[in-house]
Amino acid sequence: MKFFLLATVMASISFGAIAQDYPSKPIKLIVGFAPGGGSDIVARLLADPLGKKLGKPVIVENKPGGGSTIAADFVAKAPADGYTLLLTPPGPQMTNPFLMPKLPYDPATDLIPVTQLAVVPSVLVVRKDMPVISIQELFEYAKNNPGKINFSSSGLGSTSHLSGELLKQKGGLDIVHVPYRGSGAAVADLLAGQVQMSIDSLAVYKAYIDAGTLRALAVSTLKESPLIPKVPPVSAVIPGFEGSPILYISVRAGVSDAIVAKLNKEINEILSRPDIKEQFAKKGLTAQGGTPAQMQALIQSEAEKWKEVIKVSGARIE
- Bridge-based pairing state of the strands 122-127 and 197-201: antiparallel
What is the Cα–Cα distance from 84 to 149, expressed in whole angstroms?
44
> In the prediction, which pLDDT does 5 show?
53
- Please choose, from the candidates 3, 21, 42, 86, the residue with its C-alpha nearest in 3D space to the C-alpha of residue 279: 42
Q: How far is CA 144 from CA 78, 130, 305, in A?
A: 53, 14, 28
> In the prediction, which pLDDT does 224 show?
94
Torsion of CA 194, 137, 200, 162, to 10 degrees: -90
Q: In percent, how much of the chain has pLDDT > 90?
A: 83
> In the prediction, which pLDDT does 62 show?
95
> In the prediction, which pLDDT does 166 show?
96
> In this predicted model, which residue has the larger pLDDT, 6 or 228?
228
**Confidence tier at 7 by pLDDT (50, 70, 90):** low
> Where is average pLDDT lowest: 30-39, 70-79, 87-96?
30-39
> In the prediction, which pLDDT does 211 show?
94
Residue 128 amino acid letter: K
pLDDT in tens, 217-264: 999 999 999 999 999 999 999 999 999 999 999 999 999 999 999 999
Q: Is the pLDDT of residue 12 over 80?
A: no
Average pLDDT, the chain: 92
Q: Is the pLDDT of residue 183 over 90?
A: no
Average pLDDT over residues 262-279: 97
- Bridge-based pairing state of the strands 58-62 and 27-31: parallel
**302: which strand partners?**
none
pLDDT in tens, 123-165: 999 999 999 999 999 999 999 999 999 999 988 999 999 999 9
| Contact criterion met (CB below 8 Å) for 120 and 287 | no
> In the prediction, which pLDDT does 257 show?
98
